[in-house]
Amino acid sequence: HPTVFIHAMSAPIQAFDPLTVPIAGTNLIEASAGTGKTYGIAALFTRLIVLEQKNVERVLVVTFTKAATAELKTRLRARLDDVLQVLESKEIAKLGDDTLSDGIAAYCAEHHKGDTFLPALLKQALQKEGRTRLIVRLKAAIGQFDNAAIYTIHGFCQRILRDYAFLCQAPFDVELTEEDGDRLLIPAQDFWRERVSNDPVLAALAFKRKAVPQTVLAQIRAYLSRPYLNFRRPQADLKQAQRNAETSWQTVCRLLPELEAGFWRIHPDLNGNSYRKNSFGNLFKELAQKSAAGQLPFLDKDTHERLLKLASDKLEARLKKGKTPDAAVFAELQKLADFGYDLNALEEAEEATIIRLQLDLIGYLNRSLAEMKKSRRERGFDDLLLDVHTALTDNPHAETLARAVAENWETALIDEFQDTDPLQYEIFQKIFIAQNRPLFLVGDPKQAIYSFRGADIYAYLQAAEDARHRYTLATNYRSHAALIGSIGALFRLKERPFVLENIGYSEVGAARAESRLSPKRPAVQVRWLHENDNEKANKDVLRRRAADYCADEIAHALNEAAGGRLNFKGCPLQSGDIAVLVRTHNEAVMVSAALKKRQVQSVLLSRESVFASPEAAALSALIGFWLEPRRAGTLRFVLTSSIFGYNAQQLHDFNQNESEILHWAESARTALDNWNQYGIFAAMQQFSQTHGIETRLLSRNNGRSLTNYFQLLELLAAEDAQNRNPAALHKWLRDQISLAGNNGGDNRAIRLESDEDLVKIVTMHASKGLQYPLVYCPFAWDAQDTGPSDWQILHQSANRTELLAKAQLSEDEQKQYADEEMAERLRLLYVALTRAEEQLNIYAAYSTNTADNPLAYLIEGLPQDSRETVRQTYDREKDGIAMLKRNWRRLTDNAPAGTDFAFTEDAPPPAAYRGNAGQTAEFAANSIPERRFRFVRHTSFTALSRHTQTPDGGEEDACPSLDAAETSVPAMPSETPTASDGISIHDFPKGTQAGLCLHEILEDFKFGQAAAGQETLIADKLKKYGFEEIWLPAVAEMAEACQKTPLTGAYCLSDIPPECRCPEMGFTLHTEDFGLKRLRDWFARDDIRLPEVCRAAAETLDFHTVNGFLNGFIDMVCQDPDGNICVIDYKSNHLGADASAYTQQAMDEAVAHHHYYLQALIYAVAAARYFKLRGQPPAAVSVRYLFLRGTDGKGGGVWRWDIDAAALEQIK
């Protein structure tokens, strides 16, 4: 057994009494499961305030989670309220000083039954000061309780950095960030470019090992920001190892025919089993094939082992009797073995190089991240601990800082101290222990189960060594005496029940002698899973059987309760009184399915974030599909996720249906449009309505999936309100999922009220701190593999903590790792077993990894046997099932007094819950009207005009800056004229680019100046859009005609001064119920004077009623010298080969076909509102659409519509 370098803890252990414990020095309080830890902390805190007259702001209370902090605040405040309530009660107020003490005792006995602390506290307090003064102090303390120093460890450090920024040498204005997330990847990639990409040898090694920044970062990120870790850097010369291997290979290639011939010459003299002809024939065949390539080959494991068998000593050891070695052949074949050894050396050098590279990356990332956050003035939660630790250990003001903090908080209470780490403990040591301040460390080393979060049991053991006083909470208030005795008997079977030195099983008494179950049941029932002793140890079969047995027992118990034959505290046992404890999610699913088959409803309770739920991953994938609807692979993942739940057949059918795939892609695009306009919540609700998401989720997990879905939507909507664009919100969701996967974040899944009435399926880690009347542990017999992961933290001599790669572990260190793994499993087992209040049900079986099972360790062998001894015993045993069964029988049949075990080999009878069998109520589904969505929309003329009833159902595309008609004709690849003579605007190319070019020329054109003087402007625009300068005269002539064309009366654009013109006027109109019926009726009125063809076109409009905003840009709004308002829009539509084609009828038909009359109305309303808001309400608005190819400067090519202001008011 490896030595654990913690000195024996010499301080004697005493029972903890919150009223008598000295408020001085360092005190360690061990609080075993169920002994009222929070009650003890609350009592000690109340004593400090009431009896020691401390200020609530001067007593520091620290715990390790926000939830625990909130609970402590509530409990501490409630305790002070209890004291005040007693003192202010009418019964006590009437008493004199001589009867006050007895009166308080009598009052507490009636109103606070069983609470011996409260009357004893008040008795001592009233001996120090009068009742009136004590009441005044208590009210002041309660009034100041919002300022009480009750923090998480991170909150405590943040307070130090804020209040003592100068002494900490910390910046004042920093932003606290939750997670480094993808920030680590960028410096990791920088490191890779600097160290790997530029080094051919390292680059080749990385390629060979499939090492990229992402994978390497995933392996080492858990070990960042841990300055107490020491590295053991392996030494290796990779280049020399490569040279050696290549030299050996070249030698083998050169001599291979002779080597093969020599081997076959001596082969008859060799042991045939060790040197099989086929195997070595394949060896030489493979070497011959790879020698042709010339490069150093990759050999599989079997080939490599055969090479090593050709070493001289191994050949000689396998010679048949009477045969003598052929020294010459043996010497030649040694070259093949040497090649194998060189490959071994190369592999070791490669492994060492990769390890050094990863260790260097840890240091690089720690430095880079610190510099990055410093430059951005950001800190993460782990940085708070690092900053305070650095300020207390590596800072010229460290001593001054420690004294200042210690003076601020006179006493400190640290809860859940078994979950600390060396960094945190050193902070408390520097502030409180070194400054000789009262410090109370409360925890239980037997419940230290969070090493995967960075907790370090050795930090607790070091604190136990440093503590001046050690106490224990000696009474269990959770379980009855026989259950406590039985669990104690199990752990007392070993001298080291938790493997590690200095963690023993603490004896506790029972506050309750009898079980509250009626009739009585065995305190601990052990159910044997094997059907017979000759059964093969198949873990899959045993797991399913364990789930089925457990479900049958629970169903039977509930049936007994429903019949009045099983009661808890005088009432029938309920489903909510039962918990099944599991280790993994897969185990939970197995139990849930087994219970469901027996009509028993259950719920999986977890302390995981809602972002760790399957619904979060499904939503992330769904949003990813919305953003990239062409990704069919993402869609398939979405369809098989928890939201839609497609099975293999459904997915196969979907893959064969191309139209269905296109439908989903279109649905995704619609959802993204809705998101951009209305927000994520509205878009998701409409998508859910279309695809039945809520209906599917409601049918599963008793509403748990639907609850998770809605909680995620609320969180997304809250984040969406921070003006994140869809891509940014998707990244935020992925970050939260990643954070939850790394045990971070704080958005726990919402608990449903109905959860309390169901059988609880709880992971062992999540069950810590909880309790249940009946507890089942169906998989307690199983064990996970004990093989080391890629990296391990091991504790060495002189409290040195090392981070070691798996390849670096020596044989002794591998045993130490196995010891620490078993120790953690035993602590987790202790947590699970001690959740029971009345009965504990354990399931036992033998499997291939029973030697690594904590229960198997406890019940096998002698008390002094180590883990390794027990493992060897199981490994030697041929009949493991019989051996394990004997061990359980020995424990249960010979259990000491004060215990209550039962061992049963019989399978429970199959059962189905009949609790509702007598109910005959009939239920009918409520009729729910179809959900209608009323959204605030942002739309435009282009969007509205797309939705029309056309014979072919087609829709027109539109360029954002042009109308549909101006882009509907593609640019023609006709030849560019060679001379400008005879070229007119009618010959100008058609299409999007031409339309954009003409619009931009007129947008920047200086009306009132001759076009001939603006040829440079026109030429630049033509060039910008790819048109030859040959077109300049025709376009200039068009511009000149535009500014000379009469618009209102005799006025043309050249007559209107610049201050009366507004080009490209943008607008946003608010509208309610902008619908088709009223619009069509308005267009049909005679006083509107709209051409008949346009009225007919209006009947084909088919858009939804708009509630929201209409927006757009008007080419020109102007006011002539007489005050008339004119709206001008340029149209580059091609209606014919010359000006004669632009007749009134042709322009009316074009306006009708493309619904320009609707655009004209929107523009007229916008212009009228614009001038009305500025105190110039127009009498009418003149709409002039200039068909640029038909304008002649005399009035031709202009579509005209004059709309009275009164009519415009009515359309609003």
pTM beyond 0.75: the answer is no
Sheet containing 772-777: order of strands: 602-605, 759-763, 578-582, 772-777, 836-844, 524-528, 901-904
**Beta strands per DSSP E along 737-863:** 759-763, 772-777, 791-795, 801-805, 836-844
- How many domains are contained in the chain? 5
The pLDDT of residue 529 is above 90: yes
Secondary structure class of 918 (helix, strand, coil): coil
Are both 668 and 688 inside the same structural domain? yes
1090 domain residue, yes or no? yes
Mean pLDDT of 1104-1110: 76
138 domain residue, yes or no? yes
First-residue to last-residue Cα distance in the chain:
89
Residue found by looking up tokens 């405590």 in the block:
156
The residue range of the domain holding 647 is 608-747
Q: Which residues pair with 774 in a beta bridge?
A: 578, 839
Going by pLDDT thresholds of 50, 70 and 90, the confidence category of residue 950 is very low
- CATH number of domain containing 895: 3.40.50.300
Are both 392 and 371 inside the same structural domain? no
Pick the most confident of 440-449, 681-690, 932-941: 440-449
- Which is more confidently placed, 748 or 813? 813
Are both 1175 and 1041 inside the same structural domain? yes
Q: Binding site: residue ranges?
A: 31-38
pLDDT tens track for 1176-1210: 899 999 999 999 999 988 889 999 999 998 888 88
Mean pLDDT of 809-831: 92
AA letter at 106: A
The pLDDT of residue 1151 is above 80: yes
Sign, CA dihedral 1171-1176-1182-1186, equals negative
Distance of CA 332 to the CA centre of its chain: 60
CA distances from 316 to 269, 280, 650, 876, 922 (A): 10, 17, 64, 32, 87
Structure confidence at residue 1 (pLDDT) = 30
User: Which uninterrupted H or E stretch holds 1197?
Assistant: none
AA letter at 1123: G
How crowded is the C-beta side of 178, counted as CA atoms within 13 Å? 13
The pLDDT of residue 732 is above 50: yes
As a whole number, the mean pLDDT across the chain is: 87
813 domain residue, yes or no? no
Are both 314 and 391 inside the same structural domain? no
d(CA 383, CA 294) in angstroms, rounded, equals 53
pLDDT tens track for 876-905: 888 889 999 999 999 999 888 889 999 999
CB 402 within 8 A of CB 430: yes
d(CA 1117, CA 1114) in angstroms, rounded, equals 7
pLDDT tens track for 282-326: 999 989 988 887 788 888 888 889 999 999 999 989 998 888 888
The pLDDT of residue 159 is above 90: yes
pLDDT tens track for 685-729: 889 888 888 888 877 665 678 878 888 888 888 888 776 788 888
49 domain residue, yes or no? yes
Are both 735 and 854 inside the same structural domain? no
The pLDDT of residue 519 is above 80: yes
CB 545 within 8 A of CB 897: no
Are both 1075 and 1016 inside the same structural domain? yes
Last residue of a domain, one of 349, 375, 401: 375
pLDDT tens track for 75-117: 999 999 999 999 999 888 888 878 888 899 999 999 998 899 9
Secondary structure class of 428 (helix, strand, coil): helix
pLDDT tens track for 532-566: 878 877 889 999 999 999 999 999 999 999 999 99
The pLDDT of residue 970 is above 50: no
> Pairing relation of β-strands 1180-1187 and 1198-1204?
antiparallel
The pLDDT of residue 582 is above 90: yes
- DSSP of 1093-1104: HHHHHHTTB-PP
Are both 559 and 674 inside the same structural domain? no
729 domain residue, yes or no? yes
Structure confidence at residue 1212 (pLDDT) = 62
Structure confidence at residue 827 (pLDDT) = 95
d(CA 847, CA 1076) in angstroms, rounded, equals 74
The pLDDT of residue 742 is above 70: no
Are both 1053 and 942 inside the same structural domain? yes
Distance of CA 807 to the CA centre of its chain: 31
Structure confidence at residue 336 (pLDDT) = 92
Last residue of a domain, one of 375, 404, 436: 375
CB 29 within 8 A of CB 40: yes
809 domain residue, yes or no? no
Are both 1186 and 1087 inside the same structural domain? yes
Total Cβ atoms within 10 A of residue 193 = 11
Are both 1035 and 1064 inside the same structural domain? yes
Structure confidence at residue 923 (pLDDT) = 57
Mean pLDDT of 185-192: 89
Are both 664 and 773 inside the same structural domain? no
341 domain residue, yes or no? yes
pLDDT tens track for 629-684: 877 788 888 888 888 888 888 888 888 777 788 788 888 888 898 888 888 888 88
Going by pLDDT thresholds of 50, 70 and 90, the confidence category of residue 752 is low
Q: Which residues pair with 26 in a beta bridge?
A: 439
Provide the 8-state DSSP code for 766.
T
Q: Cα-flanking dihedrals φ and ψ of residue 501, to 5°?
A: -70, 150
- CATH number of domain containing 954: 3.90.320.10
Both tokens of residue 972? Answer: 């023609």
Residue found by looking up tokens 């390794």 in the block:
868
Q: Binding site for ATP: residue ranges?
A: 31-38
501 domain residue, yes or no? no
- CATH number of domain containing 643: 1.10.486.10
CB 530 within 8 A of CB 846: yes
Q: Comparing C-alpha atoms, which of 889, 843, 836, 906 is closest to residue 521?
A: 836
By mean pLDDT, which of 41-45, 330-334, 479-483, 840-844 is the weakest?
A: 330-334
CB 1015 within 8 A of CB 1034: no
Secondary structure class of 150 (helix, strand, coil): strand
Both tokens of residue 788? Answer: 């080391």
d(CA 1170, CA 1067) in angstroms, rounded, equals 9
Last residue of a domain, one of 477, 493, 512: 477
d(CA 104, CA 96) in angstroms, rounded, equals 11
Are both 680 and 633 inside the same structural domain? yes
Structure confidence at residue 707 (pLDDT) = 79
CB 891 within 8 A of CB 859: yes
The pLDDT of residue 531 is above 50: yes
